[in-house]
Amino acid sequence: MAIAPDLEILQNETEWEDIETPPGDLESKEPPLESYLHLQQLLLLMKCLDWLWQDRNDYFAAGNLTIYYSPNRQKTENFRGPDFFVVLDTERKPRKSWVVWEEGGKYPNVIVELLSDSTANQDRTTKKEIYQDIFRTPEYFWFSPDTLELKGFGLTLGQYQNLQPNERGLLWSEQLQLFLGVYEQKLRFFDSEGQLIPTPEEAAKTAEQRAFAAEEKAQKTEEQLEAERQRSDRLMAKLRELNIDPDTL
């Protein structure tokens, strides 16, 4: 079922420009997240993507932030707040909200909703229809921090089609060029080879472990060289005891 089909004509940047614009910089209206699990999951997605793309300035990723998309450019109508979304090919800068008519008519490329008892029905129905029919968001995922249910959809000919998991249960995001999957009961990103995208803390710990291992290896090599020198010295000393000059050998 298409929702507010008249909004579709406003996808084009030039059409947005034809409407008189009220003052922007609209505040987000999103309520607190459902639970501690939901909050931790949101922060995890944010940290991992920002760490992975730390050298990029062409995207905006946010969580629990209002998206305003009113055809009349009014903050009192037509707004939604996905739990997590990513917009590509845009400026990476802080925003109080995502105001479509101030962003060249851009909508998110990827949306992730975190299911809860109070939102799951809307996430599976109303929101899915809005993201499909109005936002035209290419990829939509939902994940339950409680049951670990994960589903993904890709937009094909205007309709969401199920994304099929690979043998490890990972779902490929063409938009992000990353897999999404469950790891240690959390939704995580994985690279194209299936390697886990770390948090900054995990990356720092791995770097520390590698440095320690390299130091240990270097120390062992030095100890081995010293042992070899000592064996050589003992051998030459023994040869001299036998009146054999080792330098002539």
Whether pLDDT at 4 is above 50: no
Of all residues in the chain, the percent with pLDDT exceeding 90 is 63
pLDDT digits (tens, 9 = 90+) for 109-136: 999 999 999 999 999 999 999 999 999 9
Query: Helices (DSSP H) in the chain: which residue ranges?
Result: 13-17, 36-52, 120-124, 126-130, 200-241
**pLDDT at residue 220, as a whole number:** 66
Q: How far is CA 69 from CA 96, 101, 103, in A?
A: 15, 7, 10
Of all residues in the chain, the percent with pLDDT exceeding 70 is 81
Better-predicted residue by pLDDT, 212 or 65: 65
**pLDDT at residue 33, as a whole number:** 58
Q: How far apart are CA 82 and CA 67, in angstroms?
A: 8
CA-based nearest residue to 42, from 82, 102, 99: 82
Per-chain mean pLDDT for the chain: 85
Q: Phi-psi bin for 142: left (phi > 0), alpha (psi -120 to 50), beta?
A: beta
| Span 203-213, average pLDDT | 76
Residue 120: other Cβ atoms inside 10 A: 17
Q: Please state which of the four CATH numbers 3.30.365.10, 3.90.1570.20, 3.60.20.10, 3.20.20.70 is assigned to the domain occupying 5-197.
A: 3.90.1570.20
| Span 205-216, average pLDDT | 72
Q: Which of 1-5, 194-198, 232-236 has the lowest mean pLDDT?
A: 1-5
**pLDDT at residue 211, as a whole number:** 67
Better-predicted residue by pLDDT, 186 or 33: 186
Instruction: Report how far apart the first and last C-alpha atoms of the chain are (Å, whole number).
Output: 93
Q: Which two tokens stand for residue 182?
A: 């469950």
Whether pLDDT at 2 is above 70: no
Q: Which two tokens stand for residue 10?
A: 């406003």
CA-based nearest residue to 141, from 91, 175, 98, 192: 175
Whether pLDDT at 67 is above 80: yes
Better-predicted residue by pLDDT, 78 or 212: 78
**pLDDT at residue 32, as a whole number:** 54
pLDDT digits (tens, 9 = 90+) for 6-54: 444 444 444 545 545 555 565 555 455 567 899 999 999 999 999 999 9
Please state at what angle helix 36-52 crosses helix 200-241, rounded to 10 degrees.
60
